């Protein structure tokens, strides 16, 4: 055993294996902190789809003024969302992940909402036809106990 510390030089190469090893291409192994344009674009598209779902739901529920107000405010939301997503890459990536995993769900929800709108209009038309038919029948048949000769 020696009392001297090993002689290390600054030119020693880093270990060939383990956490301190440099990458072969010379780049850092740490993830990038900047949001990519693709992530931001995908996140904005996901948010736009959600906003469309909200507007469609409001219209189907009969809240036309609320739906118009929502659609008018979406333009401001899109502008602020773009700035926020460019500033926060983690948020952009998480929203874009939700968009990619929730694609099937969005598909089913939008088609269901479209069918719900058609169902609502069909039911309204059927009610209108029923009222028209009842009005025609009441004009054809006189009321029971009605005598036109009695003043």
pLDDT tens over the chain, length 151 residues: 567 766 666 665 655 666 666 677 766 656 555 668 888 888 888 888 888 888 888 887 888 899 899 989 998 988 999 999 988 888 888 888 877 666 677 777 777 777 877 888 889 899 999 999 988 887 776 666 666 666 6
Q: Does residue 30 lie in a domain region?
A: no
Q: Does residue 120 lie in a domain region?
A: yes
Q: Does residue 6 lie in a domain region?
A: no
**Domain with 130 in it:** 37-139
pTM for the whole structure: 0.52
Q: Give how far Cα 5 sits from Cα of 11, 15, 56, 87, Å.
A: 17, 19, 74, 49
- Annotate 88-148 with three-state secondary structure: CHHHHHHHHHHHHHCHHHHHHHHHHHHHHHHHHHHHHHHHHHHHHHHHHHHHHCCCCCCCC
Q: Does residue 14 lie in a domain region?
A: no
Number of domains in the chain: 1
Q: Give how far Cα 13 sits from Cα of 10, 17, 127, Å.
A: 8, 11, 84
């Amino acid at each position: 055993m020696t009392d001297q510390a090993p002689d290390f030089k600054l030119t020693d190469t880093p270990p060939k294996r383990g956490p301190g090893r440099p990458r072969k291409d010379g780049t850092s192994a740490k993830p990038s902190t900047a949001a990519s344009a693709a992530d931001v674009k995908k996140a904005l598209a996901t948010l736009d789809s959600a906003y469309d779902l909200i507007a469609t739901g409001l219209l189907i529920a009969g809240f036309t003024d609320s739906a118009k107000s929502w659609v008018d405010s979406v333009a401001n939301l899109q502008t602020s969302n773009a700035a926020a997503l460019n500033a926060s890459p983690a948020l952009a990536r998480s929203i874009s992940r939700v968009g990619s995993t929730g694609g099937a769900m969005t598909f089913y929800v939008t088609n269901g909402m479209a069918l719900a709108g058609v169902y609502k209009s069909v039911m309204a038309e059927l009610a209108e036809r029923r009222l028209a038919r009842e009005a025609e029948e009441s004009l054809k048949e006189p009321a029971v106990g009605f005598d036109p000769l009695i003043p």
